[in-house]
Amino acid sequence: MTAGPRVLVIQTAFLGDVVLTTPLFRALKERWPASHVAALVIPETAPILERLRWLDEIIIHDKRAGGLRELVRVTREVGAKKFDVVVSPHRSARSSVIARLSLAPRRLGYRESALSFLYTERVPRPAERHETERILALAEAIGITGADAKPSLALTAEEREDARKAAGAKPFAAISPSSVWPTKRWRAEGFAAVGDYLAARGYGVVITGAPGEGDEAAAVAAAMAAPAVNVAAKTTARELAALVAETALLVANDSAPVHLASAFDTPTVAVFGATVPAQGFGPLASRAAVAEVRGLGCRPCGAHGGRKCPEKHFKCMNDLSPADVIRAVEATLA
């Protein structure tokens, strides 16, 4: 078999962004089965890509810790690997510089990226499409059309079994009450009410969260009348993924667990506040619903949410009632 091209995908954003990039890895490998496909990611997200059959290599770029020295190191590493094609869904200036210094003859990035002139091919980023489809627009520029836009991840049977043991024996629902951005977080009392509703229906309730999100999870657990298993800040990315894969239902803010659920087709209720699904980050599971306050002219108030409500009323979350979210839960479980 003729060797395929050596391809690097640069995605040094958050966990959810990496999950939403997996359709691109699959599309590249299916287009060039004999290719060598590598991903450049940050240390926190690298584990989630382990065992993914469309990836041949994971390259780590610790951009937070290393400064200029780390940038020089990673550009030297990437350059030494002699990639033929570099594709960058990440739009930062740093990613554009790494792509250029890779010396790859073909470098694809968005026209809207910082320092986009460093790419050999600049692709318009279609704002009206889901993020997975926006990322696949880069693949369309090299002749890959009709690619499956559903995210996908790989877990072992042991990882799934460990998740079931951590949650308890009975069917369980998972609640993920946090987000990197405060304006994406629904209030703890609301999540607690939903948790109690699910417990009354016979589900065990597991509260999840990334490192640093323990306070939000503890507040939900404290506000619940029913007992809950709180694993927030106690799981790795892969352990979180396994819990999401095994849960009967995920209720979460617009955050990474929603995208993990999309990868495993887990029934999902996504709570949207400062952001809206039309921005391209809605759930993709076959059974999914969105809970949100419609009709607010101030939504969305930014691309990713923010630290504080610009209007100082936070109606997008304060006006969302537990009954609203429970209706979405009922529709998803029906």
Structure tokens at 17: 């962004």
Mean pLDDT of the chain: 96
Structure tokens at 224: 């619940």
Which domains can be identified in the chain, with CATH numbers?
Answer: 6-140 (3.40.50.2000), 157-333 (3.40.50.2000)
Distance CA 149, CA 239 (A): 24
Encode burial over 78-116: b for 16+ CB neighbours within 10 A, e otherwise: beeeebbbbbbbbbbebbbebbbbbebebbbbbeebebb
Band (pLDDT 50/70/90 cuts) for residue 1 is very low
More confident site: 254 or 170: 254
Band (pLDDT 50/70/90 cuts) for residue 169 is low
Q: List Cα–Cα distances, 105 to 6, 27, 39, 98, in angstroms.
A: 11, 20, 18, 13
Locus of tokens 């991903």: 39
| Region 21-33 average pLDDT | 97
Helix (H) or strand (E) holding 326: helix 322-333
Q: 199-243: per-residue pLDDT in tens?
A: 999 999 999 998 888 899 999 999 999 999 999 999 999 999 999
Per DSSP, 212 falls in state T
Distance CA 154, CA 177 (A): 25
At a CB cut-off of 8 Å and minimum separation 6, what does 188 contact? Answer: 177, 216, 219, 220, 222, 223
Structure tokens at 314: 């936070």
Q: 78-128: per-residue pLDDT in tens?
A: 999 999 999 999 999 999 999 999 999 999 999 999 999 999 999 999 999
Angle between helices 188-200 and 214-223 (to 10 degrees): 50
**In the β-sheet with 204-207, what is the strand arrangement from edge to edge?**
229-230, 204-207, 172-176, 249-253, 268-271, 288-291
Helix (H) or strand (E) holding 259: helix 256-264
At a CB cut-off of 8 Å and minimum separation 6, what does 33 contact? Answer: 1, 4
**Backbone phi, psi, residue 301, to 5°:** -100, 5
Q: Is the peptide bond before 105 cis (omega within 30 degrees of 0)?
A: no
Determine if the pTM surpasses 0.85.
Answer: yes
